[in-house]
Chains A and B, each alone.
Chain A
Amino acid sequence: MTALLQHPGYEDESLQRVAEQLPCREAQSAVLLSLMGQPQQYSYPSIFIYGHRASGKSHVMHVLLRELELPHATLSCVECVSGVLLFERVLLSLFGHEAAALLPRSASLSDFVRVYRQQCSLSPAEQTRFIVMEKAELLRDADANLLPALLRLQELVEDNVTVVLLSEIAWDKFRPNTGCFEPLLLHFPDYSKGELQQILSQDRHPSYSADFYSSYINILLGVFYSVCRDLRELRHLAALNFSKFCEPVAEGKVKETDTHKLWRNIEPHLKKAMQTVYLREVSSLQWEQMQQMEEKETGVVRGLSAHTHIELPYYSKFLLIAAYLASYNPARTDKRFFLKHHGKIKKTNFLKKNEKTSNHLLGPKPFPLDRLLAIFYSVVDNRVAPTASIFSQISSLVTLQLLAQVSHEDQLDAPKYKCAVSMDFICAISRTVNFDIVKYLYDFL
């Protein structure tokens, strides 16, 4: 089934093993292999591979280097927070402990190149050495000279070495101001739907038939494919939800071949997973617990609505409502909303608005404390004195990050705030105090 990779200089057996481990990446691995050439030949000084997350960039590199037994150093730039760590890892994997120990404390790039040259004069490269860097976009945040130096490492150390950078971001975003040595660009395209299906079907549990599992994968892709094409994420979701899919079969209600009934059973479940597990609002452990809970007490749907419920003191709720109104209503309309006798305002004039100025599109506006309090007094149903308790509640709302202070901290008189909660949240809050907030919002008039 797998197209045989062929290249002189490598054993057929190991190439066969490579081909088996890289389903749907035959073309890419063949291109890479031909660029790498035979082990003793020079390869291009730096290769930049980009493609979406989980499109097999690291996997292809790992498998190729491991199975073909080429000297290599693989590191993730997330782990290498400083240059020193990076240099240490490279020397350690290419030359062993003694070499890494030669690096002085707080080594600079210059030290690294010196040690590297010294080591490679002791053991000249018989095979191309590879340095693979994952998440290379983080190199941009490191020292400005690190990336250009790595790209021309072959020239700097005068060794047969190739630096392979892997990233999700296109090369255009990497190029430094004065330019640098341009790497060879390779693109790893995303997996197509068919390929995803093929790869995911390989995870099948041996106690179920291949057709059964692939029909499950088909349903899963039907729900998630339009939102997410990340193989890793899909795999996670597939593993989490499979037990639910098997339930009716295990109970003996449905036969394995009755795809339609199985679909009817699982589809709402997967939709719910999209709103919860996919968004990481619940962890996979919680999700499994929820599934068991549901069997006992149905109707308890937690998830999105879970965090729209937060317990606040009574006046804090009104303060938050007032803040929301102050943020999303223009100040000139306050008269209309909060005065009993606001006189005649021509409705046509008043309602003249276009969509461009809708505040729910542009976001909350800052408002002064006075306005917040004025609105607060008019929305709260009984008389409240402006005591210290009210003010302290405002500052605790700021601490809770439900309000954001816009003006500087040190400005004591007339501080300005912004409301930082969503529409859903404020609706839930106002429902608990029987306040119809929509009636007071200019955008929804």
Chain B
Amino acid sequence: MSKRTAKDAHLPVGECVTQVQDILRQRLCHQRLPDKPEGVESQHRHLLELLKRTAIHGESNSVLIVGPRGAGKTMLLKCVLRDLLEDKEAQKSLLQVHLNGLLQTDDRIALKEITRQLHLENVVGDKVFGSFAENLGFLLEALKKGDRSSSRPVLFILDEFDLFAHHKNQTLLYNLFDVSQSAQAPIAVVGITCRLDVLELLEKRVKSRFSHRQIHLLSSLTFTQYLERVRTQLSLPDGFPDSRFAQDWNDGVKTLCGDKSVEEVLQRHYNSSKDVRSLHMLLMLCLSRVSVAKPAIKPADLLEASRLCFADAKANMLHGLSILELCLIIAMKHLNDVYEGEPFNHQMVHNEFKKFLQRKSNSMYNFEQPVILKAFEHLQQLELIRPVDGSSAKTQREYQLMRLMLDHSQIMEALQKYPQCPTDVKQWAMSAFG
């Protein structure tokens, strides 16, 4: 888009909205890299320096990037790689191997993937190797051109690093770290993980070969920075074709961020989580409400999006239960109150329900036991109640012990919202003892 610099070209609104959606969706859904990583400048410098040494000077290194989910670990690494590859020399020689703990579930698969990514399938051919180390050594050997100083540096990126630690004997990690320690081919091993205790997972022999260099990404975002981030994420870049629309849009975003109610909502989100991903989700919901008829984000959109994000899923599910199932839930709640959270079985719940019915003169809920049992089993299917572990399959269905997976407030919230809830059921739920 930025290439088309048609100054002050007026596009129709529909076109503009499409452009806005294009640009912002790239950012929010596709995690497009920002021009400059924010808030992690020092880490960026550190990592870039480290990788440069491998790429240009042929020095082996290993490093772990540790941080909670959505803290920007992958973003940081990708930014560093982008900057690194701007260097001509690095671009020419550096080889990359990307592995992901989710995909390469054991070392055999990982080794195959490494071979593939280094384009060495032909070299390996039908050779049979005695051990993993031998195989990896061969691969790295194949990359050498002549003497050691001229062999090509390889960058190993291990996403979800903690999952590699669960592989048998940690062979892959051991060998990679071993190569990076001894003066063989120059390699850099970069692990990305969300587990802070990842070093505890490593075996002693693996741990001792690791350089113990860790880059921590612990977000220390203040609320003002958070607000600023919301603004930049929603703002349009300078190169937008219709500059007047872009101006209007950016002004709109600025007023949006200044709005009192919006600030309140964002504060709530900030308090519950600071990570980028959840913010993206919120903004994506807002963005999806932008249309030709309404080419701006209004505070009401943000409130609605936040309501969707914070909706309690279980209360939502309770809303759709039949009245019989709801009565059973209330009976369970009473049992929980009386017996202080002891598990219950279907028979007790039924008994509790019958006690409620006896106090009523009208018998509009006159159900047969099997019908009630079916409702009970439906609740189990929805995982609103769960069988207690250890109660074997040999017990009859009616007597299997269960626990209620809902808390008091969820039930109450659902009752408030329940359509046409009979008053007596409501009163029964409110009464302290059934």
Query: A residues near B, CB below 8 A?
Result: 6-9, 31, 34-35, 37-38, 41-45, 50-52, 55, 108-110, 113-114, 143, 145, 148-149, 152, 154-156, 160, 168-173, 178-182, 184-187, 189-190, 192-193, 225-229, 274-275, 278-279, 281, 304, 360-364, 404, 406, 418, 420, 422
Q: Is the CB of A44 within 8 A of B105?
A: no
Q: Is the CB of A38 within 8 A of B18?
A: yes
B34: CB under 8 A from chain A?
Answer: no
> Could you list 7 further interchain pairs (A-B, Cβ under 8 angstroms) beyond the known A42-B30, A44-B28, A110-B104?
A51-B317, A52-B382, A170-B316, A184-B285, A185-B313, A228-B322, A275-B368
For residue A184, which residues in chain B have a CB less than 8 angstroms away from its CB? 281, 284-285
Bound CA span A38–B26, Å: 13
Query: A-side binding surface: helix, strand, loop or mixed?
Result: loop
Listed stretches B80-88, B229-237, B394-402; interface member:
B394-402
Nearest Cβ in chain B — how far from A377, in angstroms? 27
Q: Is the CB of A182 within 8 A of B100?
A: no
Q: Is the CB of B322 within 8 A of A225?
A: yes
B365: CB under 8 A from chain A?
Answer: yes
Q: Is the CB of B313 within 8 A of A187?
A: yes
B116 touches which of A37, A114, A418 (Cβ 8 Å): A114
Bound CA span A275–B291, Å: 51
By Cβ-Cβ distance, the 8 closest A-B pairs, closest first, are A363-B399, A190-B320, A170-B313, A34-B288, A52-B320, A110-B103, A42-B29, A149-B102
B419: CB under 8 A from chain A?
Answer: yes
Listed stretches B175-183, B212-220, B245-253, B344-352; interface member:
B344-352
Bound CA span A189–B375, Å: 19
Given contacts A8-B18, A108-B105, are A278 and B371 in contact (CB under 8 A)? Answer: yes
For residue A149, which residues in chain B have a CB less than 8 angstroms away from its CB? 102-103
| A–B Cβ pairs within 8 angstroms, 7 of them | A34-B289, A38-B21, A109-B102, A186-B308, A226-B324, A363-B396, A418-B394
Nearest Cβ in chain B — how far from A293, in angstroms? 22
Query: B residues near A, CB below 8 A?
Result: 14, 17-18, 21-22, 25-26, 28-31, 69, 74, 100-105, 109, 112-113, 116, 162-163, 194-195, 277-278, 281, 284-285, 288-289, 291-292, 308-309, 311, 313-314, 316-317, 319-324, 345, 347-348, 351, 364-365, 367-368, 370-371, 374-375, 381-383, 394-396, 398-399, 419-420
For residue B278, which residues in chain A have a CB less than 8 angstroms away from its CB? 182
Q: Is the CB of A169 within 8 A of B14?
A: no
Q: Is the CB of A182 within 8 A of B281?
A: yes
Q: Is the CB of A178 within 8 A of B194?
A: yes
Most buried by B among A278, A279, A363, A420: A363
Chain B residue, CB-CB nearest to A41: B25
Nearest Cβ in chain B — how far from A37, in angstroms? 6
For residue A155, which residues in chain B have a CB less than 8 angstroms away from its CB? 31, 74
Q: Is the CB of B31 within 8 A of A275?
A: no
Q: Is the CB of B320 within 8 A of A170?
A: no
Bound CA span A190–B418, Å: 11
For residue A227, which residues in chain B have a CB less than 8 angstroms away from its CB? 322, 324, 367, 371, 375
Given contacts A181-B277, A404-B394, are A229 and B320 in contact (CB under 8 A)? Answer: yes
For residue B102, which residues in chain A have a CB less than 8 angstroms away from its CB? 109, 145, 148-149, 152, 156
